[in-house]
Amino acid sequence: MISRTPTKIRTLAVLLVLVTLARPALGQKAPDNLAIDNLYKQGIRSLQQGDLDAARADFEKVVRLAPNAPEGHNSLGWVLMSTGKIDDAITQFHTALRLKADFLQPHINLANALSAKGENDAAANEAHIAVKLAPRDSEAHRSLGRALSLQRDPSAAIVEFRKASQLDPQRPDLHDELATRGSERRIYRDAPAAASIGIGEVSFRSFALEAAISR
């Protein structure tokens, strides 16, 4: 199940990576650029406060004003996914990847969203891409582990969960999931494939918006 609790969102917010927007000379577009940057930061503050409705409203404004900024689409997609609007979230992740094919986080988020829909092969494909893009990213490996679990390949899944915990040993949630999945391994053979999957502690990371203001 996808958690919507404020505590979960506050935990996520601690891990957000905010980078100040480098504002190039855009002539008369510079004030718009500043306004969009402020909107994006406002969305992050809403996440920190556990207010997903406000965060969604902020990020929806961002993507309207800056439709060519992949970060805005990814952030909106994460909020949509975390509130159960999986199809809408998938659309946003696809848009982010159309704009920036090597953007790691939408691949991870898309894998999780597809897993939530039970589209296990597509989820595993996206997670494999994420691992290829960032072989030392713990969340990429965890997403792949989850996708492999839903493909009923527990041995390969455990390998990925173990890699995730080794890459980020200070994160107890990764160790806990490795232990949990390991204990479940013996019943995977007889259990039905899961229909949903959690989005994880760091399935959203924010990045500075690129200068992609609508003309």
pLDDT above 50 (res 94): yes
Average pLDDT over residues 59-84: 95
Q: Is the model more confident about 197 or about 139?
A: 139
Residue 53 belongs to a domain with what CATH number? Answer: 1.25.40.10
In tens, the pLDDT along 32-70 reads 788 899 999 999 999 899 999 999 999 999 999 999 999
Name the token pair of 154.
């527990």
Do 123 and 182 belong together in one domain?
yes
Do 156 and 179 belong together in one domain?
yes
Quick one: pLDDT at residue 141? 92
Quick one: pLDDT at residue 33? 84
Do 93 and 129 belong together in one domain?
no
Do 161 and 208 belong together in one domain?
no
Name the token pair of 160.
């990925």
Backbone angles phi, psi at 71, to 5 degrees: -60, -40
Amino acid at position 40, single letter: Y
Q: Mean pLDDT across the chain, nearest whole number?
A: 76
Backbone angles phi, psi at 165, to 5 degrees: -70, -30
Q: Does 23 map to a domain?
A: yes
Q: Is the model more confident about 75 or about 154?
A: 75
Q: Per mean pLDDT, which range of 16-25, 89-98, 144-153, 165-174 is the poorest?
A: 16-25
Residue percentage of the chain with pLDDT more than 90: 50
Do 187 and 214 belong together in one domain?
no
Total domain count, the chain: 2
Quick one: pLDDT at residue 185? 55
* SS3 assignment, position 85: coil
**Other residues' Cβ atoms within 10 Å of the Cβ of residue 23:** 12
- Domain extent, residue 95, equals 1-101+202-215
Do 1 and 73 belong together in one domain?
yes
Do 71 and 151 belong together in one domain?
no
Amino acid at position 111, single letter: A
Rounded to the nearest 5 degrees, what angle is found at the Cα of 189, between the Cα atoms of 186 and 196? 95
- pTM score: 0.72
